[in-house]
Amino acid sequence: MTLLKLFAAGFGRSLRATLTFRVNLLFDIGLSVIGLVASLATVFIVYARTDSLAGWTEAETYVLIGTFQVLSSLKSTFIDPNLAWFPDNAIRRGMLDTFLLQPAPTLFLASLARSTPLSLVQLVLGLGVITLGIVDHGQPPEPAAVLAWIITLAGALAVTWAMGVLLACLAFWAPRLQLDVFYASAWQLGGYPTDIYRRPLRLVLTYLFPLTLIATVPTSTLLDGPRVLVLVSTVAGATVSCLLAVGCWRLGLRRYTGATS
């Protein structure tokens, strides 16, 4: 409950700061709409020449894009403001020293204390695209499928957070290593059906760098209905990823000696 109160307080502070610059809201909405329209235009062009892409219909791809948009929104709102450029802000500039002095878990302060509420605009747009895809699909999902979609979406968000923490932990051993550009580029691969990739890359995106969980698994769950094995695997994968991230963070803190040392 304490962490939830801290999380809510941090989000409220960020929201008040965001509303101070209301013109930025209009620009963010415009940029989000332009980016989404570009993605949808790409899908429209592809399906103008084919009826199926690696077994995915046009309507199913719209649902996939919407799901990816929702995850991207949550990542941009709650994860990126904290873990992006972690080596520079926390290690080299000493922000981590401040976190260590606070009466709250250091990992929480370093990874979830700040947020950018404007990015939630993408979430609303993503839900709209999902609705469009479901209507085009012609078969509305059952309540059990929607619930399973939410569970797999939460698992995908947990894996996303864990990957961000693991990449941030590398700064404890290599402070000048910046992998944010690589992570941002790799993240975009999750916005497409993993079935379109060749087998070696598909295995990497499923087991080593599990971007399959980001959009493909939740979308399949929403459209095809819940499967016990998928749900169990998602929860297990999210749990293992989070435990691994926490373990690496603790190892990194043992190595950390301060920004001025």
The domain total for the chain is 1
Cβ neighbours for 210, distance < 8 A, ≥ 6 positions apart = 159, 163, 237, 241
Rounded to whole angstroms, the Cα distance separating 52 from 66 reads 18
Do residues 47 and 111 make contact, with C-beta atoms less than 8 angstroms apart?
no
What is residue 116's three-state secondary structure?
coil
Mean pLDDT of 73-88: 86
Helices (H), the chain: 2-20, 22-47, 58-74, 80-83, 86, 95-100, 106-112, 120-137, 143-173, 180-187, 199-203, 216-224, 228-255
In a domain, 261, yes or no: no
What's the domain range around 27?
2-255
178 vs 108, higher pLDDT: 108
In a domain, 175, yes or no: yes
Mean pLDDT of 242-256: 92
Query: What letter would DSSP give residue 142?
Result: P
The whole-chain average pLDDT of the chain stands at 84
Range with lowest mean pLDDT among 35-39, 249-253, 257-261 = 257-261
Of these ranges, 1-10, 49-58, 143-152, 189-198, the one predicted with the greatest mean pLDDT is: 143-152
Band of the pLDDT at 63, cuts 50, 70, 90?
very high
Is pLDDT of 200 > 60?
Answer: yes
223-243 residue pLDDT tens: 988 999 989 999 998 999 999
In a domain, 159, yes or no: yes
* Type of residue numbered 124: V
Is pLDDT of 261 > 60?
Answer: no
148 vs 7, higher pLDDT: 148
- Whole-number pLDDT of residue 207: 66
Read out DSSP for 175-234? TT---HHHHHHHHGGGGS-GGGS-HHHHHIIIIIS-GGGTTHHHHHHHHH---HHHHHHH
Instruction: Specify which residues 56 forms β-bridges with.
Output: 53
Mean pLDDT of 89-102: 82
143-176 residue pLDDT tens: 999 999 999 999 999 999 998 898 888 888 887 7
